Amino acid sequence: MYSINAHAKVNIFLKITGHKNDYHTLISRFVRVENLYDTIEFIPCECETFTIEGCDDIPLESNTIYKAYKALNDKTGDLDILNFFYKHKVRVTKHIPTQAGLGGGSSDAASFMRLVKEVCNLSITTQELAELGSTVGMDLPFFIYNYPSANVSGFGEIVEAFEEEPLEFEIFTPDIQCDTAEVYKTFNKFLLQHISLTSFFGWNRLDSRSLLSLVPDPIALNDLYPAAMVAYPELEALDTQGWFFSGSGSSFFKLKTQV
């Protein structure tokens, strides 16, 4: 049996920098959440087709793990991948809430790709794997590089490790699922024209703890938070004083108090 942990992430800040061909460019600080993760396992099993357990509510063709599997096959043409998954199934043990701004689906797919690279001895570099991952989803490169903290920009394909002290987070996820496409659609309609690139100049050079202290406003830190509140008005009714909004939502986070 082969296993890997697929960690959640939070966005310390997330600023939209542009829009091109229905995709958004951004700059963001991604930080791995050490104590919240799904587990991806490859379990011995005679399988007629690629088989995933633990994601029953997601059609196979829509599953990011399956998309990652197809991308790896198409890119490498390595028969070892096909043969391996005739003899193994994928089991996902979920702990990261879905549609919660924590990157669960992307982390699962990226961790799957990293584990396949290892068990099938693929002749592909981490950079090449990250480039391939970006064709599956814009958050995958961060999870493939597996940095504890990184500045992410462009369409998510530019990932630069950021050295800072390890951080521990408290996570609050209300019973609200935020569809990323809907949040971005709302952002385009109401907020895209108000982008100001100078408003966050230098944020990528500040450590996360300092930035959260200097800019304690979750709306200023995350461009998608106002859009999410328009798309999902129940977010605005929550008591989130002292909490910050991650990604396209619906999760909130704050730093654990240092002892």
DSSP string, 208-245: HHHHHHH---HHHHBTHHHHHHHH-GGGTTS--TT-EE
What is the rounded (10 degree) CA torsion for 174, 7, 244, 232? -40
In a shared domain, residues 119 and 228: no
Domain stop point among 143, 161, 179: 161
Task: Clarify whether residues 27 and 143 are in a common domain.
Answer: yes
Co-location of 13 and 126 in the same domain = yes
Candidates 15, 38, 67, 139; catalytic one: 139
Catalytic status, residue 9:
yes
Question: For the domain that residue 77 is a member of, what is the CATH number?
Answer: 3.30.230.10
Range of the domain at 226: 169-255
Examine the domain organization and report whether 59 and 143 are in the same domain. Answer: yes
Residues 116 and 207 in one domain: no
Which residue positions in the chain have pLDDT lower than 70? 258-259
46 and 87 fall within a common domain: yes
Out of 9, 15, 67, 117, the active site residue is 9
Q: What total number of domains does the chain contain?
A: 2
DSSP 8-state class, residue 248:
T
Q: Where are the beta strands (DSSP E) in the chain?
A: 2-20, 23-44, 52-53, 88-93, 149-154, 158-161, 169-172, 244-245, 252-255
Does residue 139 carry a catalytic annotation? yes
